[in-house]
Amino acid sequence: MFLASTALRGYNAGMNAKHVEPHGGPVPERVRIAPVSHAIRDEALRSQSRVVTRLPLLLVIVPVVVIAGIFALAVFMPPGMPVGRLELKMAHDLSRHMRKAAVDPGTAEVLEGPELRDTKGRAFWQELCRRPEPFDSSVYKLVSLAGADEKADGDLLRSRKIDLMPENCSFTGPRAGELPELVKFTRCVLVTFNSRNWNNYPEKGVIVIWSDQEKAEWLEFDDAADDWGITAEEWADPAGKLFGKKAPFQHTYD
């Protein structure tokens, strides 16, 4: 009896220590996982709250940083870099505005009127920028991104408190009274870099706005020589030998 009782107690103790699978292999006891402490749980909740709180701020900061970076590249990129692409886009905008003014009956009448018809070059742009749309917002587009010129104050210019000075204009301009007819029949350069900005992009040439197309483009010396018979001497002295004198620059002025 004593032996049976002892054996039974030993059997129970063994079963408490381990379970036996149907095939006889032991199964380890179930591991107990200690509960997460209050301190750890509270810290996790605080971290989650900080992330959620900062998310709206990040949504504001990140776009601002991206826009600032794009602006810096556009404005401060050195000459000869892809900023020339932006310059071409600005010239295209000028071309579109100028063409719109030339074909609009009301504006064309003003251009050909006694007040404006003889204005040309920088004076052409000065008068147009003092008038309502589409030119009153074009002041900043008159300044080459690769030169030393600076944008004029548009409000002061429109109020006639200042004039468009040489350092506020990087481009030539046509004679106002001729513009409505030039865009209809003649292939010539209406706008290009003026003599002060002629060599801003020696590896690309000069930006030109043609009378018979809206899109602005680059004109290199080799193409000007082949297509228009321009010599190296003439190309080197645009103010003295090209502007207002020789095709295709005979209708544009400093």
Neighbour tally for 179: CB within 10 Å: 28
Counting every residue written for the chain, the total comes to 254
Burial 32-45 (b: 16+ CB within 10 A, else e): eeeeeeeeeeeeee
Specify the amino acid at residue 133. E
Q: What is the pTM of this model?
A: 0.67
**Nearest to 74, CA basis, from 138, 136, 146, 152:** 146
In angstroms, rounded to a whole number, what is the distance separating the alpha carbons of residues 195 and 134? Answer: 26
- Output the CA torsion sign for 81, 82, 87, 92: positive
Mean pLDDT across the stretch 56-70?
A: 49
- pLDDT value at residue 139: 66
Please indicate whether residue 191 or residue 16 has the higher confidence score (pLDDT). Answer: 191
- pLDDT value at residue 130: 82
In angstroms, rounded to a whole number, what is the distance separating the alpha carbons of residues 137 and 216? Answer: 19
Please give the sequence-ordered ranges of beta strands (E in DSSP) within the chain, or none if there are none.
19-20, 26-27, 189-192, 206-210, 217-219
- pLDDT value at residue 68: 47
- pLDDT value at residue 186: 81
Residue 22 pLDDT class (50, 70, 90 cuts)? very low
Which region among 34-38, 169-173, 187-191 has the lowest average model confidence (pLDDT)?
Answer: 34-38
